[in-house]
Amino acid sequence: MEMDKQGSKGKAKNTKESIHSGHRARMLERFRKQGLDGFNDHEALELLLYFAIPRGDTNPIAHRLMDTFHTYHSVIEATPEALASVEGIGEKTAALIVLVRETMRRYGIDKAEKDMQGLALDTSDKMSRYLSPYFTGISEERFVALATDIQGRVLGVQEISRGTIRATHIEIRKLAEFAIRHQAAGVIVAHNHPGGRALPSHDDMQVTRTIRDTLSALSISLQDHIIIAGDEFISMHDSDVMKYI
């Protein structure tokens, strides 16, 4: 009798695994034929989870992710700690989701660099196109500097700091060393407002004034300060904010 029970359990387990295996094969085939078009958000997550969870049903985990974060992009933008708080999400799975976000960001940065290679960043639209990918999927404030030659062509880009943008937090010396190292004629700076509006705050204006004065003492021009919030951006130069700080 005991052997029959064990045999039944083993058979049920094998049947369950077979069903999941068949479901996975169908999902993967569907993806190969049509990409993610036609997939619901939870189905896209379910498919992604296959690559971190080799066995078992990832559908309930995908639903828990959507229940917790509510939108697909919020799942992709979540921190590893927040992801790990969801039942079924371990360290490896959280790392995979973060890798997707970072891959998207790296792709955007590389594409902008290649598409605009050798071009002068002489308008705020061009500056935003070049710098926006550095902030893709980022849920914390980051501050990035771009060095240009006298014709406005890119010499180098570097992240200067992370965290709330205040004059006391920006590493002015690091920014100055970056500009000098690239023998920059001009510098463009940018930072993001995660979850906010692309409008300059009092701290943004104070930081801009400090940077402008520091670079001016080195005979380097601050060309612009771009503030990015999602798909929106504002140029502090074009909006005349820089004239009054």
| pLDDT, tens digit, 9 for 90 and up, residues 68-126 | 999 999 999 999 999 999 999 999 999 999 999 999 999 999 999 999 999 999 999 99
Average pLDDT over the chain, rounded to an integer:
90
Which pLDDT value is given to residue 163?
Answer: 78
* Distance, CA of 98 to CA of 77 (rounded, Å): 7
> Is the predicted pLDDT of residue 232 greater than 90, yes or no?
yes
* Distance, CA of 12 to CA of 10 (rounded, Å): 5
What radius of gyration do the chain's Cα atoms show?
24
The percent of the chain in helix, strand and coil, each rounded to the nearest 5, is 55, 15, 30
Tokens 């502090």 found at: 236
Which pLDDT value is given to residue 4?
Answer: 46
Which pLDDT value is given to residue 22?
Answer: 86
Which pLDDT value is given to residue 135?
Answer: 95
Closest CA to 204 of 240, 164, 171, 162: 164
> Is the predicted pLDDT of residue 3 greater than 70, yes or no?
no
66 phi and psi, to 5 degrees? Answer: -65, -40
Per-residue confidence at 160, pLDDT binned at 50, 70, 90?
Answer: very high
Q: What percent of the chain has pLDDT over 90?
A: 77
* Distance, CA of 196 to CA of 232 (rounded, Å): 10
Half-sphere exposure of 209 (CA within 13 A, CB side): 14
* Distance, CA of 241 to CA of 245 (rounded, Å): 7
pLDDT (average), residues 15-19: 54
Helix (H) or strand (E) holding 154: strand 154-162
Which pLDDT value is given to residue 139?
Answer: 84
CB atoms under 10 Å from CB of 140, counted, come to 11
> Is the predicted pLDDT of residue 168 greater than 80, yes or no?
no
111, burial (CB in 10 Å: exposed 0-12, middle 13-18, buried 19+): exposed
pLDDT tens for 95-109 read 999 999 999 999 999
